[in-house]
Each structure stands twice: as C-alpha cells, then as structure tokens.
Amino acid sequence: MARRKKIYEGKAKILYEGPEPGTLVQYFKDDGGAFDDEHREVVEGRGVLNNRLSEFFMTGLNGIGVPTHFIRRINMREQLIRAVEIIPLAVVVRNFAAGSMSDRLGIPEGTALPRPIVEFYFKDEELGDPLVTEEHIIAFGWASQQDLDDMVALALRVNDFLSGVMMGVGIRLVDFRIEVGRVWDGDFQRLIVADEISPDSCRLWDLRSGARYGKDADGSDPHKLSEAHTEVARRLGVLPTNV
Ligand code: C5P
C-alpha cells in the first residue's frame, strides 16, 4: 500500500491524509482510549468494534439530518471522514448523575437529572480536560456564542437519537461525550459531529441489571471492557464481519 501522510496520532486513533481534498482517513487502534497512561492496555478487537459502532451511530445521525464527519467505512479499522477544524472543547451530555458530576456535586450515581445537562470541558490533557463555563469559552475565544448555541442544539439532538437507540436494546444512556468540528460549505460555516461515538465515549448501563457497558464497564479489567464492547455491538446487530 502506498505510504500515507500521518496527520495526527492520539491514544485511540490515527488520522491520515484522505484520497480527496477535505477528507481524512480515521484509523481505530486497539489501545488507549478508555485507559489513563498508567493503565494503558491493548484490548484486542476494540478498534474494529469502535469503527463499526461509530459508523452505525453516525450513519443514523446523518440519516435524521444531524450532520457528522462520517462519509463511509473503508475497512475493518478505517473510515473516510470530512476534515474539520476541531473546536477544542469536549461536549458532555448527562441524563443521570454519574462520574465526575457525582464526585463534584455529591449527587448519588444514577439519580435522574431534571433535564439533560450539557457541559463543556477544555481539551487539554496536561490539565486533565477541566470543566469550563460559557464565560471562559467566549472570553478565551475557543468558540463564539453562536457556536455555543449550535453545539448545545447538536448535542441534544445526538442525545435524543442515542438515548432512543440504546433504550431500544435495553441500555440506559447515562452520559456521553462528543467532539464538534467546523466545516465550510462555500462561505457558509457550520458545526458537525466529529471524532467518534462509541462505548469509549459513553456511559451505558443495562436497564434491568444495571451492568455497565460503556467506558466505566470495569476499567481495571481490559477483558471485561472488551466483553462490554462486544455486548453493545451484539445488541445493536453490528458485530463485525471480515472485510
Ligand atoms: O468522567 P465524566 O463523568 O466527566 O465523563 C462524562 C462522560 O464523558 C462519560 O460518558 C465519559 O465516557 C465521557 N468522557 C470521554 N472522554 C474523556 C472524559 C469523559 O469520553 N476524556
């Protein structure tokens, strides 16, 4: 295969130059993602499952008019995506209290929130992706007020879609994170869902048993995590075949 130019390498993914201007190839690795540096381990097959699951969710979103960067899957580990200018904020939507919200505010895990709550985290690994307010975002120029309004609207639409899909297979979407990118169609600028949507960026609990399938499946045991990914893919009917 011809050598491709690597644009970026993160813990869980690599981005290569795409075949046409304005496109990139996103490669899903098996390691990283759900583990911090001390506990980084390889979970075999996770990249393949995340590639499939992200395809599944983003195709569904594209189909209901929620724009995403996904163009098409290329093979088991790669997908063609639109190049975007990433906004340096992680957008988290929460339906139930858990994780850092429970820690920060003392709300017991699993408490239903009165409405979905959208939060912004500044993407900076050294700082540990701190929670930021709209005031910080505007003052430091990370996004405009219009961007913020668009990001909230986008995140809530993703939440409605994902919650419904997961509910349909007996799983509660407790919370999730998306990244948002800016694209230009001529002079017209808009924001679209970027990065990935997979169990690595969602907190998923079984509706009946409460078993955890997402990022907090059992972070100390990579095999449990792998089983959790497989279970989500199996329920959604998107287990990979050899391509
Ligand atoms: O840890 P916390 O409760 O803030 O996480 C909220 C949501 O954001 C979870 O679904 C988690 O999987 C996701 N998240 C993520 N990547 C991070 C931090 C959080 O996908 N670096």
- CA-nearest residue, atom 7 of ligand 1: 176
In DSSP notation, 12-71 reads SEEEEE-SSTTEEEEEE-SSSSSS-GGG----TTHHHHHHHHHHHHHHHHHHTT--BSEE
The per-residue pLDDT for range 20-47, each reduced to its tens digit, is: 999 999 999 997 544 455 555 566 788 9
Q: How close is the Cα of 202 to the center of ligand 1, in Å? A: 7
Residue 82 predicted with pLDDT over 60: yes
Residue 219 near ligand 1, beta carbon < 6 Å: no
Nearest atom in ligand 1 to the alpha carbon of residue 98 is 3
pLDDT at res. 218: 65
pLDDT at res. 9: 96
**Which DSSP helix (H) or strand (E) runs through 104?**
helix 99-105
What the block records as the tokens of 242 is 């050899």
Residue 217 predicted with pLDDT over 60: yes
The per-residue pLDDT for range 228-238, each reduced to its tens digit, is: 889 999 999 99
Residue 109 near ligand 1, beta carbon < 6 Å: no
Side chain identity at 143, as an amino acid letter? A
Q: How close is the Cα of 19 to the center of ligand 1, in Å? A: 32
pLDDT at res. 76: 96
What sign results for the dihedral spanned by CA atoms 165, 169, 175, 180?
A: negative
pLDDT at res. 127: 98
Strand order in the sheet with 78-82: 6-9, 13-17, 23-28, 78-82, 70-73
Helix (H, G, I), strand (E, B) or coil at 209: coil
Residue 100 near ligand 1, beta carbon < 6 Å: yes
The per-residue pLDDT for range 51-60, each reduced to its tens digit, is: 999 999 999 9
Q: How close is the Cα of 177 to the center of ligand 1, in Å? A: 6
Residue 70 near ligand 1, beta carbon < 6 Å: no
Nearest atom in ligand 1 to the alpha carbon of residue 202 is 10
CATH topology of domain 85-236: D-amino Acid Aminotransferase; Chain A, domain 1 (3.30.470)
Instruction: Give the Cα separation of 177 and 203 in Å (integer).
Output: 9
How high does pLDDT run on average in the chain? 92
Exposure on the CB side of residue 227, measured as CA atoms within 13 A: 9
Record the pTM.
Answer: 0.93
Residue 61 predicted with pLDDT over 80: yes
* Residue from 196, 163, 203 nearest 179 by CA: 196
What would the mean pLDDT of 144-153 be, rounded to a whole number? 98
Q: In sequence order, what are the residues at sequence separation of 6 or more whose Cβ sits closer than 8 angstroms to the Cβ of residue 115?
A: none
Nearest atom in ligand 1 to the alpha carbon of residue 176 is 10
Looking at 3.30.200.20, 3.50.50.60, 1.10.3720.10, 1.20.120.530, the CATH number of the domain 6-82 comes to 3.30.200.20
In DSSP notation, 139-190 reads HTTSS-HHHHHHHHHHHHHHHHHHHHHHHHTTEEEEEEEEEEEEEEETTEEE
Domain locations along the chain = 6-82, 85-236
Residue 77 near ligand 1, beta carbon < 6 Å: no
Go through 129-143 and write b for each residue having 16 or more CB atoms within 10 A of its CB, e for each that does not: beebeeeebeeeebb
Q: How close is the Cα of 187 to the center of ligand 1, in Å? A: 34
140, 89 Cβ separation under 8 angstroms: no
Residue 175 near ligand 1, beta carbon < 6 Å: yes
